[in-house]
Amino acid sequence: MKIKFKIKSYYQPTPKKMRKIGDALLGASQFLTGYSIVMDEKYLAFTCIAIGTIGKFMTNFFVEEEELQDKGFT
């Protein structure tokens, strides 16, 4: 199975591997954001929030190739 990045696949099921990557990215960014706030690093905190949110959002665009063929999105 190949994993594809397509705009039309936003509402299709996200592959398990990509969900794990997105969740790990979001968790790490939350940890780093908390640390940045405690250490009074505003710009680092905003950067970590943005990277985590955008990264998690982008994982929704990944879909397994078989899913695309079954739904007619190829």
Please give the single-letter amino acid code of residue 4.
Answer: K
pLDDT band at residue 37, thresholds of 50, 70 and 90? Answer: very high
pLDDT band at residue 50, thresholds of 50, 70 and 90? Answer: very high
Domain ranges of the chain: 3-71
What is the per-residue DSSP string for 47-72? HHHHHHHHHHHHGGGEEEHHHHHHHT
Pairing assessment for the beta strands 3-5 and 62-64 based on DSSP bridges: antiparallel
Q: Which two tokens mark 23?
A: 């969740």
- What is this structure's pTM? 0.75
Q: What is the pLDDT of residues 7-34, one digit of tens each?
A: 988 999 999 999 999 999 999 999 999 9
Residue pair 63/11 in contact (Cβ under 8 Å)? The answer is: no
